[in-house]
Structure 1
Amino acid sequence: MIPKSTIDEIFDAALIEDVVGEFVALKKRGANYLGNCPFHNEKSPSFTVSPAKGIYKCFGCGKAGNSINFIMEHEHYSYPEALRYLANKYNIEVEEEEQTDEQKLAANEKESLFVVSNYASKYFKDQMHNSQAGKAIGLSYFKERGFREDIIEKFELGYSPDEWSAFTDEALKNGHSIEFLEKSGLTIVKEEKKFDRFKGRVMFPIHNLSGRVLGFGGRILKTEAKAAKYLNSPESEIYHKSKVLYGIYFAKKEIIQQDNCYLVEGYTDVISLHQSGVENVVSSSGTSLTEGQIRLIKRFTENITILYDGDAAGLKASFRGIDMILQEGMNVRVVLFPDGEDPDSYAKNHSSNELIAYIKEHAQDFIRFKTSVLLEEVGNDPIKKAELIKEIVASIAIIPDQIKRSIYTQECSSLLDIGEQALINETNKILRGKASKPQQQHFDDGPPPIEDFYEPQEEKSSSISSKVAHWEHEIIRLLISYGAEIITVDVLGENEEIQQQEVTAAVYILSNINGDGLTFDNPILQEAFNHYVEMVNEERIPTHQDFINNLNQDISRLAIDVLSNKYEVSENWKNHGIFVKTEESQVKMAIFNSVFAFKATKVEYLLEEIGSQLKIEKNDIEQIRLMTEYKHLKGVQRQLSEKLGRIILK
């Protein structure tokens, strides 16, 4: 159990832009930050982070929350795990009991897989540094590759003993379940026998964005005809090869800073470049590039530079993956190392400055690179050249940006010695073919959610119940947003004279609603209102953070929604002498209008109910009572209408 004082300290320290910025490339936009949503695939950024309010909101898929919610949602952490993660990030000490073996086994499946993967990583490290075989075989291999001690430690490299079940036996002895050892792929179970999957291999832990171990890559050191040189963990609940990039945890900050990501093929390529001071580098771990991996990079930058070894034979096979990058609207450059060299060997044989200089000097645009590679193959064969042109045009056609397509078309026209109009016609032909196919927007996590606990702010119905829902929502929004604001109101003095008095917006709203005995039809809004009343009774006006950080997730979601604004007035308007009236400058009017409108819609709702009852009521006495109540409410309605003036109620 984490003490409340520690939780409060974590909330205070966890800056939303800092937390989200670890996983998403954010750009300043007025008072807020904007980026591509990490929860669904989007080409136009709709993910907004508000430092002032401490919240994030995606206006595309609807995901929203605070720093804790983001870590829970993005990393699939429980609430305590998210707190511990942020406590560790901000060096906040968390005093709590160590989990017992029983507690570990009782954890959910994903967490159990993370726990066993973390244990395995520590075990492999310990074996390499403290066992005789580990030092003689594993550690000596990495040192022969030229890796420094600090780099070996940084990437948590290790060694799995060359014994059939050394790791499995030790894991079972330490309370880990064979079920999760098998599900993680660390142990292979056949009938009654158990084997270590990575027996006799040096180990490369694969981390997620927050640094947790998802799986492993293992390289065999013996020459065995039937054994694969590299072996990866199988798919599991936490490890999906198509959505993972080796080194992304160590590279993400530098990718954002450099606004470029270097993509290499192997684990040692990543490690060698890091050792040479090039840290914005990741690897697809020897697998073909996937959409999931591309989107992972796109969270941090729209620029990818692919580093190839000197062997051009495999280049054509990689073109499809690069076309997928172009389709995402990203910019692709290519660097080809000299014959016989790859990023790993070049980094070891040259200084950091020489490596960086070579990459900068030899980086070329992919379309130009692909054209030159294919031109070498076709020679003077007109048929092959025609096929080449179609292949190049196919790559140009998938680029979503029209201006980029136009520029590439001009370049290829010159390189291929063919009329620009012919290329344009061929491109348009492909585009028309795509347009004729039905396109269906989709999100990774399903359709955008419809808030199920209150009506949206934008009205789609003119019914009275919809009006009530709107103004109930508006009252709560004003309380959360402006409860502490001081406003001037008219009150009756001792001599029945109207006097002006300063009160908080919260006191004014609560006295008007509670004083008239009004309640909210929506239970979540009523709960939020009650929570507000309780805090005011304790002589404290709650802030929006009290609601955002509320343990009741419905109240937290409500607060985040009412505080999220999709649009904001640009500061450039002021520079041009254009001043726009904002709600903040007219809080008093907004509160007065909303309170009266709230009351008016409640009265209108009651009048409709009484009218319906009168139509079916047969008892004379009950009819008189209903008519009297109806007449009274009509009088109240007229008074409210006078106070509202020309306000048009939704």
Structure 2
Amino acid sequence: MISQNTIQQILSRIDVLDVVGGFVKLKKRGANYLGLCPFHNERTPSFTVSPSKEIFKCFGCGKSGNSISFLMELEKFSYAEALKWLAKRYNIEIEETGVSPEAIQQQQVAESLYIINQFAQKFYDKQLFESEEGQSIGLPYIQQRGFTEATIRKFGLGYAPDKRDVFTKEALANHYNKDLLLKTGLVANRNDQLVDNYRDRIVFPIHNNSGKIIGFGARLIKSNDKAPKYINTPENELYIKSKILYGNYFARQAIDKNDECLLVEGYTDVLSLHQGGIENVVASGGTSLTLDQLRLIKKYTKNLTIVYDGDAAGVKAALRGLDMALEEGLNVKLVLVPDKEDPDSYLQKVGATAFKAFIQENKKDFVLFKLELSLKDVGNDAAKKSELVNQIAETIAKIDKAEDFTKQQEYIRQSAQLLKVEESGFTALVNKFIRNRIALQEQKLPFDEAKHHEEVANEGTTVNFDDQTFELLYKEELQEKEIVRVLLEHGKKPWDSEHNIAGYILSELPEEELFQSGTVLKFLHTYKNLFHQFNEVDKSQFVYSEDKELSTFAVSLLSFPHEQSNHWKDESNSNGFQKTLYQQDYKSFMYSISKDGKERLSSFLLTQKDTTNEEVISAVNYLKLRKIKKLLMQNQADMQTADASQFNNLILTHQFLKQQEMEITKTLGTVIMR
């Protein structure tokens, strides 16, 4: 676990312009910066970065956050991975706490393996481009496959010479540990001698999500019946085959933007498609899809299109992992390239444009394809057909996400037609499999947890809000959020000679019972703890909170207000516009002026004057008013059912609440709220 000291060092060094600007070209626009959003395709910039608030916001797709969440969203990092990325960028040494000696040892081994792999990639790259053997054998072989130097360098391909121990000697000369060299799989122990494991092979580096090399795949150049076509890194602290998709590092942003992942089998398939401008593609490495690989894809998109060879082996490979993909909520399509071709050779044959068109025109629904294929094998065999009906029903039952209900119903309808069975009966069969699965899941739940689920479900059926109550609760939530916004924006500012604004607000609203929103309560609890420790709280402590709920909540409340133009610094201008024009009056004001006035006003950016104290008083008192209104409603409801002995007390309560309401209203100088 990264220590708090390290996290604070990172947070103190973060520059949102530096981080975001490394991925997005930004132009200054007033106090903020503007650029094209990296999360969706747009031609007109709507992606705004505020250095003062340390946040970004896209007004096109709605995404917002801080430097850390930007990295997590764009690079699909975990929180810890984002912190480590930032620590490396700002040369901050990472200190970890609460880590066992075994875990520290494992981490040290992993770091050493990264270093060796990086050294190996540079070695093989040099052999490919600079050695006589590489230029006469390795490079021509790759180029004959149709790959350009740009593609070769992008993916870091290299060449392993046909020599006994050229890499081993180089690695040992650079003082790399023998045991670690063996662990990487780059070196093998033969007759108590260390020798190169890769010889006369094209070497494909395999990267993790952050671009670090975690292993290699090495393809034999010459045909040799005694040697395997491919050699892959053995599993170690870095390389776990079931969790890896080749090319993921290079494809992740394209997958996110296209909202679709193309899955192929081989390394060269990925290279060919990338070179043809199809970058949202990864490879499974010829293995069956695993749950970890599917979840890796799901981080970027729910739309998976499998592009495999059209032969029997390709079809069989494509069908593996279908049920897991459906359980993960992925929308799976299948494209089979013509027989005797693979994606690499077919793209080389027809060109990138025709290949793209082929994919779009030949996508088949995975479930229905499996059904149609299986029906051909079943023929007229009644027993096999019965088995197939059960198999397809069980497959469709795996679609258990609430948002996928319509998709499940459509599968039931189409499958029943293809199977030539009654839709109602087939629906009942699917539901049976669903019930069986739920029953198995419930058996795994602890008794107390199951009881809690039941209680929550029961509560959900008894809640009944009328329109007035709903409106009250909605406005109440807005008032609670306004308190949080004011604390974030102005909490550190002075209120009087003894208190800052945060101290004033917390003293005026000491009881957490005044708040109903769970997120607001969580925020206030955290804020109070920090305030009691340090007597002031900076908004960055929430903007960069490790708690994603608090961070997202804080960012959502920080806005990008208009800024004041230099034109407004004069007391008046040729149109007689007043400086006291507020941002919230802008829209109505624009409607009220003439066309010429609008044209002249277009050069002016409007701003709010400093109304901090008014905002604080308004936020506190309006929240109090809202709570009093709620208490009055409850008191009135009690009066309707009260007996004579209770009624007098309720009348006194009503009078007290009305008096409080009038006093606060007088302070605000406004009318009593509905």
Give TM-score scaled by structure 1 length. 0.62
Is 1:433 aligned to residue 418 of structure 2? Answer: no
Identity within the alignment, %: 36
CA distance in 2 between partners of 1:147 and 1:112 (Å): 32
1:63 is aligned to none
Query: Structure 1 residues 366 and 335, CA, compared in 2 at 3 Å: closer, same or farther?
Result: same
1:316 is aligned to 316
Query: Structure 1 residues 161 and 418, CA, compared in 2 at 3 Å: closer, same or farther?
Result: same
How far off is 1:425 after superposition?
2.3
Is 1:402 aligned to residue 405 of structure 2? Answer: yes
Query: Structure 1 residues 295 and 73, CA, compared in 2 at 3 Å: closer, same or farther?
Result: closer
1:13 is aligned to 18
DSSP 3-state at the match of 1:277: coil
Contact 1:72 / 1:79 at 8 angstroms: preserved in 2? no
1:154 is aligned to 154
* Equivalent residue letter for 1:431: I
1:481 is aligned to 488
Is 1:423 aligned to residue 436 of structure 2? Answer: no
Query: Structure 1 residues 178 and 71, CA, compared in 2 at 3 Å: closer, same or farther?
Result: farther
* Equivalent residue letter for 1:8: R
Q: Which moved more, 1:405-414 or 1:382-391?
A: 382-391
How far off is 1:248 after superposition?
0.8
Query: Structure 1 residues 341 and 5, CA, compared in 2 at 3 Å: closer, same or farther?
Result: closer
DSSP 3-state at the match of 1:14: helix
Is 1:505 aligned to residue 495 of structure 2? Answer: no
Give TM-score scaled by structure 2 length. 0.60
* Equivalent residue letter for 1:434: R
CA distance in 2 between partners of 1:68 and 1:375 (Å): 45
1:565 is aligned to 553
Choose the corresponding residue for 2:87, options 67, 83, 93. 83
Query: Structure 1 residues 5 and 399, CA, compared in 2 at 3 Å: closer, same or farther?
Result: closer
DSSP 3-state at the match of 1:436: helix
CA distance in 2 between partners of 1:226 and 1:133 (Å): 23
Count of aligned positions: 478
1:60 is aligned to none
How far off is 1:55 after superposition?
5.7
Query: Structure 1 residues 279 and 584, CA, compared in 2 at 3 Å: closer, same or farther?
Result: farther
CA distance in 2 between partners of 1:414 and 1:71 (Å): 43
How far off is 1:316 after superposition?
3.4
Contact 2:495 / 2:504 at 8 angstroms: preserved in 1? no
* Equivalent residue letter for 1:407: E
Query: Structure 1 residues 441 and 357, CA, compared in 2 at 3 Å: closer, same or farther?
Result: farther
Within 5 Å, give how 1:176-325 maps onto structure 2. 176-189=176-189, 192-325=192-325
Within 5 Å, give how 1:578-589 maps onto structure 2. 587-588=616-617
Is 1:545 aligned to residue 550 of structure 2? Answer: no
Q: Which moved more, 1:260-269 or 1:70-79?
A: 70-79
CA distance in 1 between partners of 2:256 and 2:196 (Å): 38
1:583-616 per-position Cα deviation (integer Å, ceiling 9, x unaligned): 999644777999xxxxxxxxxxxxxxxxxxxxxx
CA distance in 2 between partners of 1:585 and 1:379 (Å): 79
1:543-582 per-position Cα deviation (integer Å, ceiling 9, x unaligned): 4226766xxxxxx658x7755539979x9xx9xxxxxxxx
2:671 is aligned to none
CA distance in 2 between partners of 1:146 and 1:564 (Å): 47
Contact 1:482 / 1:587 at 8 angstroms: preserved in 2? no
Query: Structure 1 residues 210 and 383, CA, compared in 2 at 3 Å: closer, same or farther?
Result: same
CA distance in 2 between partners of 1:435 and 1:17 (Å): 47
How far off is 1:303 after superposition?
0.4
Greater fraction helix: 2
How far off is 1:229 after superposition?
0.8
* Equivalent residue letter for 2:64: P
1:411 is aligned to 414
CA distance in 1 between partners of 2:444 and 2:125 (Å): 46
* Equivalent residue letter for 2:501: A
CA distance in 2 between partners of 1:201 and 1:131 (Å): 14
Contact 2:495 / 2:501 at 8 angstroms: preserved in 1? no
* Equivalent residue letter for 1:375: L
CA distance in 1 between partners of 2:64 and 2:149 (Å): 39
How far off is 1:244 after superposition?
0.9
Query: Structure 1 residues 109 and 362, CA, compared in 2 at 3 Å: closer, same or farther?
Result: same
DSSP 3-state at the match of 2:126: helix
2:114 is aligned to 114
* Equivalent residue letter for 2:13: D
DSSP 3-state at the match of 2:277: coil
2:330 is aligned to 330
Contact 1:160 / 1:199 at 8 angstroms: preserved in 2? yes
Query: Structure 1 residues 180 and 406, CA, compared in 2 at 3 Å: closer, same or farther?
Result: same
Q: Unpaired segments of 5 or more residues in structure 2?
A: 1-5, 25-37, 49-61, 94-104, 446-480, 509-524, 560-583, 585-611, 624-658, 665-674
1:65-102 per-position Cα deviation (integer Å, ceiling 9, x unaligned): x85999897396696753335x7xxxxxx899xxxxxx
1:189-224 per-position Cα deviation (integer Å, ceiling 9, x unaligned): 467421222222111111111211111111112333
Contact 1:72 / 1:82 at 8 angstroms: preserved in 2? no
1:175 is aligned to 175
